[in-house]
Structures are given as C-alpha cells and as structure tokens.
Amino acid sequence: MRFDTPATTNPIDQLRVVGKPTDRIDGPAKTTGRAPYAYERYDVAPNQAYGYVLGAGFAKGRITAMDTAAAKAAPGVVTVVTTLDMPRLERSESNIAYLFGGPEIQHYHQAVAVVVAETFEQARDAAFLIRTDYAREPGRFDLAARAATAPLVSGDSQEGSSAPAEDRTGDFDGAFAQSPVRIDQTYTTPYESHAMMEPHATIAAWNGDKLTVWTSNQMIAWGKRDLAKTLGIRPENLRLDSPYVGGGFGGKLFIRADIVLAALGAKAARRPVKLALTRPLVANNTTHRSATIQRIRIGAGRDGKITAIAHESTSGNLPDGKPETAVQQTKLLYAGANRLTAMRLAELDLPESNAMRAPGEAPGLMALEIAIDEMAEKLGLDPVEFRILNDTQVDPEHPERPFSQRHLIECLRLGADRFGWSGRNATPGRRREGKWLVGMGVAAGFRNNLLAKSGARVHLDKQGVVTVETDMTDIGTGSYTIIAQTAAEMMGVPLEKVVVRLGDSDFPASAGSGGQWGANNSTAGVYAACVKLRDAVAKSLGFNSADAVFADGQVRAGNRSAPIGQAAGEGGLSAEDQIEFGDLAKRYQQSTFAGHFVEVGVDAATGETRVRRMLAVCSAGRILNPKSARSQVIGAMTMGVGAALMEELAVDKRHGFFVNHDLAGYEVPVHADIPHQEVIFLDEVDPASSPMKAKGVGELGLCGVGAAIANAVYNATGVRVRDYPITLDKLIEHLPEVA
C-alpha cells in the first residue's frame, strides 16, 4: 500500500479498540517469567556452551602476540578464538568500530577473544588466563582539548535528526550584532551509557552452513543484513529471532560483539553457544551517547521576538564516525529570520558514539532550552510566554513548508495551567520550605516524526482467529499490544482473537524499533496487510468489499452477515503487504511537541537536588494506547532526571576508557529519585503521518526534560549550571547564605 495523500476516514477511526487504554497483552508472560529473552532460550538448541568475551586492556595500538595455552587447558574449556586467528571481519554499514579480527585495536575493550566452556564461570576464568602482548600507541581521549581544531561535518542520526556541516539563513552575524538583547553561552553534556536492563546477549547455533541466532536486537532486518555481511555468509542462510528485548534505547539498533562472537564461538565449538556481554563491555565495547560542547547565541528585539539564533555543537567519535546532531531541533523549534547552525566532529580513540534515545534532540535541547530561559530572563519575560511569542507554524528556513500539525502553544498553555505555573516566583532563590529551596522550570520538547517502510502478514483461520506476523520488535514499548489493537480494529474481532508474533527475520520486514518511529509505522504496515485480508474475506463471502462492515466477529453487507471465520474455510486466508510512503514528509514538516514542567527542591546547605513534581503535555498525533504511551513517556521523563542530575561516563584521559563502567559507578535514577509524574496527551490526529494518523511519543518524553530540571534548579537557587550533570559540587559554593 502506498501512502501519498493525507488519510481520510478509515476503519481505525472507529476507535473500538485502538485508542483505548489497554493492558499489555505480553504483561502476564513477563511478570511470571515466561517471556523468553535471548540468554534464557535454553529450549531452542540442545547442549549449549557458554561464551565469554575478553576485551582489549588498552585503547590504541596493536596486539603483537596472544598465548592461549593456559586458557585452552583450563577446566571445562571447549575452544578459544582470538582476534589473531583471522583477518579483520568486514565492517557493516551500521558499525563504526570493527567488531573482531586482526591485530589493530581502535578502542578500549574492543573484543580480542572469546572463550567457550561448559559453564559461564569456567569461560570467564579461562579468559583471564590469556596472555596478551600489546604495542601501545598514543591515543586521543579529550574532547575539550581537540574541540578547537575539530572540522565542520554534516551528520544524520538515521532517526530523523540531521543537519549540514554549516547552515545559514539570512545574515546571522549582522542581525546578532545589531540585536539590543543578546546572550552568548556555552553548555556541555557528558558521555552517557544506555545502561539497559538486559545486556547484549545472543545464542548462536549452526546447522551446516545455516546460522540461527536468538538475540536481543531492535532492528531485525538491519541485523540480518549486517551480520551476513560481517560474517561473509548468504543472507538466506541466516535467521535472527528476537521476540522480547529487555530495553535498548538505541544501543541495540546495530549488531555488536555478542552476536558476532557467539556465532564464531559456535562454529569453532561445533555446538550452540550462549553469550552475554558484561556491564563493563556494555559501556566500553558497545556504543554510548557522545559528549557535546555547544555554543548558543540568541539575539532579540526588546519586544521579545528572536531576530538571530545560532547553535554550534562539537562532539567526538572514532574515525568514520558521525557527530551528535545536537543542532537539528534549533532549525525548526523557534522563529527568527537570521539563523546559523554548525556541527564539528573531533576524532577520538574512545569507544564508538552512536544512537542513544533521541539522538540529537536529547542533548541539543538540554542546551537550547536553558539558553531560551536565559534569554527570557534577560528580556524580563515569563519563560512560557517567551516561547509562545516565538512560535512558528512553518519551517523557519523554508517558510513555504508548513508543519502538518503543530500544537506547541497548546502544550505550554495547558501545562502551565495544570502545573500551577502562575504561582512560580520569577525571582530565583526566593521560595523556601524548611531547608529546601524550591523552584519551577519549563522547557519545550521536540522530536521529528519519521516515516519508514514497514510490512506485515496476517492470517485468518476458521475459528476467526487473526494472526499477525512481522519482524517488528517489542523493546518494552508495547508493540505486541498496539499491533493486536490494530488488527482487532481492522478485522472487527475482539482483542483475545488476535495472536501477534514478532521479532523473527522469517517474517515480513518492519520499520523496527527506534527513533520513536516504531509504533506509527509498524501498525500502518499491519493496517495495509489487513486491508488486503478484508478484501479477501469479502470476496470469499461473496460480498462487495466496499460495502462490507467488520464488527463483533461478523462481516455484514446490506442485510447479509456471516461469521468472519466462515470466510477462512479449512485452509485459512492470508494476506501480506507493506506501507510505503510518498512525499508527504517533504511537503509537510512532521514533528511532535511537548511542554515539560518540573518542580525541584534543593537543600540549602548541601546542594542536594530532589525532583518533586513532573508534568509532560504531549502533542503526538493519535495515541494508539494511552496506557502504554504514558508508560513510555514517564520512562523517558525518568531518563531525563538521570541525564540532568547524575548520569555521566567518566573518561580516563590517560588510558582512554570509561571508568564507571558498571551500575555501581554509573548512576541512574531509582524509584526513590522519581516523584509523581503526570502525562497529558492532546486529543488530535495527524492525517499526513499514516493511515493510523499517529506519531511517535517514546522519545518526546525525554526531549527537554533535562533543561526543565536545570531551569528549575536555577529558579530555586539562582545558580545557573551549564555543564551537565547538575551535581551538588557545582551548586554548593554558590548557594544563598543559610540564615
């Protein structure tokens, strides 16, 4: 099905099932431990051995020799495969670092060996018996030291966030110089780890030249393509299966060392191998969010209208890597005739930087939305009103291109009313409750809506059961449920009559999970397949498909009706299709918006910060399942608390690795850190987005949260922190005198 004109009325608009706050249909399996995750698939292949990955103990240079004799002789060891045993494996188009093979080391904890043994403990102990000789080379590990000479580069996150190396509209320099009110500030965001609950894990089994991997991966079609290329095998000889994923946040968009080394270990051992990366390897061997250094300049007239805005960002990565596209949202979020965005990329020898939840916008808004607050204060304007004053209904760089839907003003106004913004004291440091300095902060949220081809197969049996198959993944987001809701709505059957099967590369390729594109695109693919199945059902029953009504397990046309299962007969009916998009995304700017409001308390003596209340008002098209959508948003808000107050991968700038590479040293929010969170979804649809009229929301809940917290801390204390995370050491020396 091709979607190239805005949607009109269709079966989804009935909203009998879609749009209802529906419990997760996979919830019982997950809460009882029956949902099989990758490392737990003991039933899929007999006689599984355990693999353990050894990472390089240095960051740059060459391995000159590896002595594996002691490891091979250790109890329980089946085989050992080292990086010197083979040439460097080919790098897929999705990977920046090479995953295995050859003596060259690009970064700390790059995989150098896999040990396969009868137990995990035996494999781990044997791995540390391998003696490795290195020839170290000097490395580049300090972003700040290399920022001044970093070249301009363009970048694309592949998640809807992209920007040219430098982009100018109008005369920024002249307009900024002439602006009566100006700010020019620099902000920094740190390296961050995905720190998902389930680490990267794979079970691999060979049957002749055919390989099956049960793995934890967000993008099955990408994974199949990339693993086939990396291992040099034919794609048709490869199957990926990933029905449940315990979190990814972008860290599992691409294949990593676990899947490659499980496959290599299984081939060498001649038996299935299961392998999970340890927490230090999740931080140093896989990917992370890049640190950024961002300079923002804003000029405005005394009426508060922005006349000039510039956002320049510097990030770092391995050679051939991409920048963090932190300037992208600034191209679209606020009006202003004279504009400049630029990105620079420093080559570093740290582990690979790549997509992490809301790449680009998440760190970009952490800086931009502080700058907007600073500008509002300098103008003497309320921060909410300043944002509203500079709203735009068109792409500021291409005014002929309108937004398909843009309700940022509604998000801000409704949020201010619900949060009690009028009670905020505009003078920082004036509100006290006992030992706590209390403040409120606001920030706009922004995230683009990305359209991607997505397919599905649907089958109807004589009992009226509809089975949906697609390689779409559920990474904790609720994909099973919204896909079931879509099929139930389209085929007119109750939800309990729908079976959903996901995550298998033998199923039609979907959009996959990432970039908040999964829900809208994958359900649109199911919609397309169901349209075909409806036609087949009507034809089988002798009905005119244009007149057929599907409801309550029946198909009706005029004064005739029949149970839907009757159309299937003994053999059943199947249909397969995919959604393909035309040029609507070029004709309309498709984005999502939010108003984030936060209240914090800061201990007047110690600088300890506690988030007290949070509110997100979201504009994201039709909400397919308000219950799971809310879950996504509050999870993202929680992630925003971590980014604002605690999360930071600390770099050892001598040896080039992340020191706090486990969950003891890398702090993330826990239940005690998170207060009441309220989420409001605007009642809207976006016909330009898909037949579902929906858009993504999972990353929108993160975008802007960090800045809202930073602005609340400033309102509470009068201390403006521009370097994340906002830890108490950055506050304590500047807090107001304690009476």
SS3 599: strand
Do 12 and 693 touch, CB atoms closer than 8 A? Answer: yes
Do 636 and 702 touch, CB atoms closer than 8 A? Answer: yes
Do 266 and 204 touch, CB atoms closer than 8 A? Answer: yes
Question: How many Å apart are CA 406 and CA 387, to the nearest integer?
Answer: 14
Q: Which residues of the chain have pLDDT under 50?
A: none
Q: Return the closest-CA partner of residue 721 out of 182, 429, 610, 712.
A: 712
Q: What pLDDT score does 739 carry?
A: 56
Do 594 and 583 touch, CB atoms closer than 8 A? Answer: no
Domain ranges of the chain: 2-35+451-584, 44-138+218-234+251-282, 381-449+590-739
Q: Residue 499's beta-bridge partner residues?
A: 467
CATH 3.40.50.12780 corresponds to the domain 381-449+590-739: no
Q: What pLDDT score does 159 carry?
A: 83
Q: What is the DSSP code string of 507-564?
A: SPP---S-TT-HHHHHHHHHHHHHHHHHHHHHHHHT--TTT-EEETTEEEETTEEEEH
Question: How many Å apart are CA 305 and CA 301, to the nearest integer?
Answer: 6
Neighbours of 427 (CB within 10 A): 9
What's the DSSP call for residue 90?
P
Instruction: Say whether 699 is catalytic.
Output: yes
Do 71 and 80 touch, CB atoms closer than 8 A? Answer: yes
- Locus of tokens 């991966």: 217
Torsion, Cα 663 668 673 676, to 10 degrees, reads -130
Catalytic pick among 489, 699, 733, 737: 699
Neighbours of 138 (CB within 10 A): 10
At residue 133, what is the residue type? Answer: D
Q: Residue 296's beta-bridge partner residues?
A: 185, 311
SS3 705: helix
pTM of the model as a whole: 0.98
Neighbours of 587 (CB within 10 A): 15
The order of strands in the sheet holding 432-433 is: 432-433, 436-448, 591-603, 609-619, 676-681
For the segment 273-303, what is each residue's pLDDT rounded down to a tens digit?
999 999 999 999 999 999 999 999 999 999 9
For the segment 415-450, what is each residue's pLDDT rounded down to a tens digit?
999 999 999 999 999 999 999 999 999 999 999 999
CATH 3.40.50.970 corresponds to the domain 2-35+451-584: no
Do 448 and 517 touch, CB atoms closer than 8 A? Answer: no
SS3 349: coil
Domain 2-35+451-584 matches domain 381-449+590-739 at the CATH topology level: yes
Q: At the topology level of CATH, where does 44-138+218-234+251-282 sit?
A: Aldehyde Oxidoreductase; domain 3 (3.90.1170)
CA distances from 35 to 26, 41, 519, 643, 647 (A): 8, 10, 21, 30, 30
